[in-house]
Every structure is written in C-alpha cells, then in structure tokens.
Amino acid sequence: MITPDVRINYEAAYLLYTIAYDNWNSISDKAQKRFRRQIESAVREAGFNGVETGLISEKAWATVIAEKKGEAIGKDNRVAKEHPVTHKNIALYCLTQPTKLSFDDFYNVWFENLVTTYTTNEENQRLRKFQSTFKFGVDCWKQMYEDAGVVLMERPKLNTNAAKREWGII
C-alpha cells in the first residue's frame, strides 16, 4: 500500500516526467539533464531507496565475516549497498520510451528496477562499467553482475549462536 506521503512525491516526479517527455526532443542536452535530475530527486524524496533483494556478493560476505572476527579490512573490501540499476538509468529509460508512460507504469518501472544488493567497493567499481550499457528487462541487472564477475548469494542470517559458529565468528 502506497502512503499519501510517498504517492505525492511520485506524482510530483511524474508531473516533471510528463513535462520533460513532451518536450524531450526540443530541449537542449543541458535542459534534458536538469529535468532527469529533478525526476530522480523527486523519486528520492518519496523515501524509496530500492527493493532489498537480500543478496550479497561472496566477496562482500567474506568481508562481513572478517570484520565480525575483528580483522582489518582494506578500503577496496569495504561493503557497500549497491543499486545495479541507478536512478539515472531508470529516469533516462522512462524519458526515452516511444510512448509516454501512465502514472502506474512510471511508478512500476521504479519499483521493479530500483533494487539493492551488497558488494565490496572494488566490485562496485567493476559493475559501473556495465551500468550504462545494460538492457532493461526482468532481472536485467543480474547479467551485469555476471559480466563483471561478481557472484551473488542469499545473505545468511547471523542471529543465532549456531549460525555464528557455522561462520567461525564464535
């Protein structure tokens, strides 16, 4: 259920989208960039930061375990929340469709594609190479991970002593 606070921000983003879409081919690159960023900002103001997939890279999970054991972690191995499909990707996708999206379609594009995973900083940098060339589709972001050599797994829970023993934390 979408709350009124979230809906009004999506309506604001959609209003910006419709204005930009109607004028997209007749405005300058600078104006296009400005409109795209305004749409991204309105969506961020809705408080939605992506659907949690529950996935973490194997390398990031190894880092989590190492940190819990008190081991020092290098800068490149720090774990970060990653949006494989960025706000920018989604806004541009919406703006470059052959027909204008309805509010419901606009809303669904964001909720279906703005997902989050956890990777290391180094893996995140490798993924960036593929973010500008991917093709939208169901779970399209998973191909980026494969292409970048990032192996994802379900993030195990460490909420019991047995689980902590299994991972060598206690």
Token pair 């934390």 is at which residue? 169
- Written as six digits, the tokens of 163 are 């689980």
pLDDT at 67 over 80: yes
- Adjacent-strand bridge partners of 152: 57
**Angstrom distances, CA of residue 109 to CA of 59, 81, 129:** 30, 20, 22
Rounded CA-CA distance 80/60 in Å is 8
Residue 66 and residue 120 in contact, taking contact as beta carbons nearer than 8 Å? no
The phi, psi pair for 63, rounded to 5°, reads -65, -45
Q: Which range, of 48-52, 72-76, 80-84, 118-122, averages the lowest pLDDT? A: 48-52
Read off the pLDDT band of 78 (50, 70, 90).
very high
